[in-house]
């Protein structure tokens, strides 16, 4: 199951990313485009979608830093 569209919808609706202003591989946290407050809101969304609490070890740039990475992480999480 691909979470890509849910994730993009969340970023646009809740985190203020303008549609068309980003691409799926763009690094969002390490570039500073999204801040730590965006991360907290995003974690709540991810936990809700996955139906479980995330371990802090899963909250890494490798899993969260772009839409592509996050969708891949959620697909197997």
Question: What is the contact surface with other proteins in residues (CB under 8 A)?
Answer: 13-16, 29-33, 35-39, 55-61, 64
Pick the closer one to other proteins by CB: 2 or 61.
61
Pick the closer one to other proteins by CB: 33 or 49.
33
CB of 74 to other proteins, least distance (A): 16
How far from the centroid of its chain's Cα atoms is residue 22's Cα? 13
Pick the closer one to other proteins by CB: 44 or 75.
44
Cα torsion 65, 55, 6, 15: sign: negative
**How does DSSP classify residue 56?**
G
């Amino acid at each position: 199951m691909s979470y890509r569209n849910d994730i993009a919808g969340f970023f646009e609706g809740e985190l203020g990313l303008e549609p068309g202003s980003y691409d799926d591989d763009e690094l969002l946290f390490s570039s500073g485009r999204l801040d730590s407050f965006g991360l907290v809101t995003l974690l709540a969304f991810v936990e809700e979608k996955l139906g479980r609490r995330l371990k802090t070890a899963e909250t890494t740039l490798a899993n969260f830093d772009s839409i592509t990475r996050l969708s891949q992480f959620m697909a197997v999480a």
